[in-house]
């Protein structure tokens, strides 16, 4: 096998569409993502494979709960910032127009990344973990895998906890120029529509309530990302 024929070290992320047609994203990382949808585009489950092994999976159960499993390879936190911001950037480019990364983010100032929007405005992106139950991740590390089943309202409450903690560490001026990105790379169920509806019903939009420029739950794929706001 020649150098040109060798398989790449990092597989291209993959989306399995409802028709079985495979489509790749533009991101290049060691994840492969398989999404399963019903005929009405309702998400039925998501599998995230990392370096060849399934790192996380979610599934909508018949009773309306969301079953999720994480392996020891699933690691929420700062290591995912690049994936999260790249995915968000692609989603904003699709929704708003060309969006680009800007150099100069200062971590000491709470700036994980800077993005330039189509109107030339530069916005701070702060990445936090979407699902905040540390016991789940500790169990995955210790046992190899951890499984939990949650109602959408329970996951919405976890999102609320994550968001309010960030409010306590920022000022209204900061939040007005900040996109808060909740990392759901290894907890894709956090971006499901049922969870977003439950959050908005219980707490309202964190953008209008708390003054963030935007708040997103950033799923493993561009299409599955969900913004926490009232669309009306």
Cα 164 from Cα 160, distance rounded (Å): 6
Cα–Cα nearest to 182, from 208, 214, 204: 214
pLDDT of residue 232: 58
Contact 34, 17 (CB under 8 A): no
| Percent of the chain clearing pLDDT 90 (strictly above) | 46
Is 217 inside a domain boundary? yes
Average pLDDT of the chain, as a whole number: 82
Say what percent of the chain tops pLDDT 70. 85
Whether 50 is covered by a domain: the verdict is: yes
pLDDT higher than threshold 60 for residue 209: yes
Contact predicate 183/76, CB 8 Å: yes
Whether 183 is in a domain gets the answer yes
In a domain, 106, yes or no: yes
In 3-state terms, what secondary structure has residue 29?
coil
Residue 78 is predicted with a pLDDT of: 60
pTM for the model stands at: 0.82
Q: Are strands 178-183 and 122-129 parallel, antiparallel or unpaired?
A: parallel
Q: Which domain holds residue 192?
A: 3-227
The secondary structure of residue 21, as a DSSP letter, is -
Say yes or no to pLDDT of 4 above 60.
Answer: no
Counting the structural domains of the chain, the total is 1
Task: Measure the N-to-C terminal CA separation of the chain; round to a whole number of Å.
Answer: 56
């Amino acid at each position: 096998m020649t150098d040109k024929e060798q398989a790449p070290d990092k597989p291209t992320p993959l989306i399995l569409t409802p028709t079985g047609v495979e489509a790749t994203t533009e991101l290049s990382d060691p994840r492969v993502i398989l999404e399963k949808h019903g005929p009405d585009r309702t998400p039925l489950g998501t599998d995230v494979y990392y370096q060849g092994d399934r790192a996380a999976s979610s599934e909508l159960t018949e009773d309306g709960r969301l079953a999720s499993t994480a392996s020891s390879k699933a690691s929420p936190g700062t290591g995912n910032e690049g994936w999260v911001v790249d995915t968000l950037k692609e989603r904003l480019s699709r929704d708003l127009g060309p969006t680009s990364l800007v150099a100069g983010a200062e971590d000491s100032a709470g700036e994980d990344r800077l993005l330039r929007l189509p109107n030339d405005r530069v916005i701070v992106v702060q990445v936090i973990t979407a699902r905040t139950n540390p016991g789940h991740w500790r169990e995955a590390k210790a046992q190899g895998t951890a499984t939990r089943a949650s109602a959408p309202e329970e996951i919405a409450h976890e999102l609320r906890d994550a968001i309010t903690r960030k409010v306590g560490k920022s000022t209204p001026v900061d939040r007005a120029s900040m996109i808060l990105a909740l990392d759901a790379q290894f907890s894709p169920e956090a971006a499901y529509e049922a969870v977003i509806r439950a959050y908005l019903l219980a707490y309202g939009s964190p953008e209008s309530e708390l003054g963030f420029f935007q708040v997103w739950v950033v799923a493993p794929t561009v299409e599955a990302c969900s913004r926490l706001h009232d669309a009306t």
